[in-house]
């Protein structure tokens, strides 16, 4: 274990950032609170005696360097990641420490792979984007289902969310992505991202019980279309979203998540169902739990722990499935996820 080491959390006062800080403390790390709003950082620190506050704007490299000084790693939980990922990655590379983020923004994750692959390898450090519910979890499930294989014909990831009350960061990141796509839909087919117009289809998906057969939105494309093809040869990667959750996140008046237990988690539940077709074989993996934002914290913190204790496979920019032993990683999250392969 790497308990006792300092981990900087950028965007610590945000909805997901607070879960990350709590997870770090629970596992014996020493968080350093950073982000753009000094008042919100101090407000959060008031409930965490002895925790250091280091405000930093993404357009101030010197402040970011001070925020990361002495830290063993940094977790970026501040969306929109189109604005924050690159500056914080650059600061992490200058500091020579691993970088982990919880970005669900497809374009921001593509930028990270394209822009920082060579600089991260040259710095001999790890940059791990999308280490969260969207992107990271699906990639781990696909990798675990495939085992030692690195190719497949099709990957399908269906998200059975009971509801989806988006955070302010989710809304901001989604708005930027839509502008970058000029309002078009995106999907991963024939080995590449394809942009187009048109209505996304509603189809039936047979989830494991207790969900059973549900209506889902086809080509409701999430960050899995970046993480999975980054290390697996799969020409078709499709993702689907339960219609109830898709309706929630699209509605402008859907409220933000509300705490429903002592940990601050919402009442939202989820079931992620992964179907992989390879040759004539079908492989399946599922994960279920509560609160997609809350569960991103143990995903990110477990990643940091493994990076700091030598339980990773590579340096440079990599997805969760390429960086870690996927089945072992998923077993380590048994307190927060129920997984079946």
* Class (C level, CATH) for 6-133+295-334: alpha beta
The pLDDT assigned to 111 comes to 98
What average pLDDT does this structure show over 182-191?
94
Q: For 123-168, write each residue's pLDDT tens digit.
A: 999 999 999 999 999 999 999 999 999 999 999 999 999 999 999 9
User: What is d(CA 177, CA 82) in angstroms, rounded to the nearest whole number?
Assistant: 8
136 — phi, psi (to 5°)? Answer: -75, -50
What average pLDDT does this structure show over 273-287?
96
Query: Per-residue pLDDT for 1 more than 60?
Result: no
The pLDDT assigned to 135 comes to 98
Dihedral angle computed from the Cα positions of residues 195, 197, 199 and 201, in that order, rounded to the nearest 10 degrees: -30
Q: Can you give the residue ranges of every domain in the chain?
A: 6-133+295-334, 136-292
Does this chain's domain 6-133+295-334 share its CATH topology with 136-292? no
Mean pLDDT taken over the chain? 97
0.95 exceeded by pTM: yes
What is the DSSP code (8-state) at residue 207?
Answer: P
Cis bond upstream, residue 339 (ω within 30): no
Residue with the larger pLDDT of the pair 198 and 255: 255
Please report which confidence band the pLDDT of residue 2 belongs to, taking 50, 70 and 90 as the band edges. Answer: low
What average pLDDT does this structure show over 100-124?
97
Q: What residue has token string 């994750």?
A: 109
Name the CATH architecture for the domain at 136-292: 2-Layer Sandwich (3.30)
Query: Per-residue pLDDT for 337 more than 80?
Result: yes
The helix/strand/coil state of 324 is coil
Q: For 21-71, write each residue's pLDDT tens digit.
A: 999 999 999 999 999 999 999 999 999 999 999 999 999 999 999 999 999
Burial class (CB in 10 A: 0-12, 13-18, 19+), 46: exposed
Q: How far is CA 336 from CA 30, 161, 270, in A?
A: 21, 16, 12
Neighbour count for residue 160 (Cβ, 10 Å): 24
In the chain, the percentage of residues whose pLDDT exceeds 70 is 99
Per the CB < 8 A criterion, the answer to whether 8 and 68 are in contact is yes
The pLDDT assigned to 153 comes to 98
Please report which confidence band the pLDDT of residue 296 belongs to, taking 50, 70 and 90 as the band edges. Answer: very high
């Amino acid at each position: 274990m790497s308990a006792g080491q300092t981990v900087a959390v950028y965007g610590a006062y945000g909805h997901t950032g607070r879960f990350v800080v709590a997870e770090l403390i629970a596992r014996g790390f020493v968080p350093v609170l950073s982000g753009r709003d000094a008042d919100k950082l101090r407000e959060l620190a008031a409930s965490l005696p002895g925790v250091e506050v280091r405000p930093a704007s993404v357009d101030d490299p010197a402040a970011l360097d001070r925020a990361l000084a002495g830290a063993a790693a940094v977790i970026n939980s501040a969306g929109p990641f189109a604005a924050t990922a690159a500056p914080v990655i650059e600061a992490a590379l200058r500091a020579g420490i691993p970088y982990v983020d919880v970005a669900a923004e497809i374009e921001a994750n593509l930028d990270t792979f394209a822009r920082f692959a060579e600089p991260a390898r040259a710095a001999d450090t790890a940059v791990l984007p999308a280490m969260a519910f969207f992107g990271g979890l699906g990639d781990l499930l696909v990798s675990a289902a495939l085992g030692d294989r690195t190719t497949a014909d099709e990957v399908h990831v269906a998200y059975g969310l009971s509801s989806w009350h988006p955070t302010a960061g989710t809304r901001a990141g989604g708005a930027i992505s839509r502008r970058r796509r000029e309002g078009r839909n995106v999907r991963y087919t024939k080995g590449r991202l394809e942009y187009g117009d048109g209505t996304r289809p509603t189809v039936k998906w047979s989830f494991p019980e207790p969900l059973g057969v549900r209506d889902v939105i086809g080509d409701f494309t999430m960050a899995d279309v970046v993480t999975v093809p980054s290390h697996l040869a799969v020409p078709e990667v499709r993702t689907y979203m339960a219609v109830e959750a898709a309706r929630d996140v699209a509605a402008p008046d859907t409220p933000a998540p509300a705490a429903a237990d002592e940990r601050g988690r919402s009442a939202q539940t989820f079931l992620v169902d992964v179907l992989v077709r390879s040759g004539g074989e079908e492989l399946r993996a599922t994960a279920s739990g509560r609160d997609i934002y809350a569960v991103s914290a143990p995903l990110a913190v477990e990643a940091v722990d493994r990076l700091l204790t030598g339980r990773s496979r590579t340096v440079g920019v990599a997805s969760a499935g390429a960086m870690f032993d996927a089945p072992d990683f998923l077993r380590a999250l048994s307190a927060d996820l129920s997984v079946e392969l």
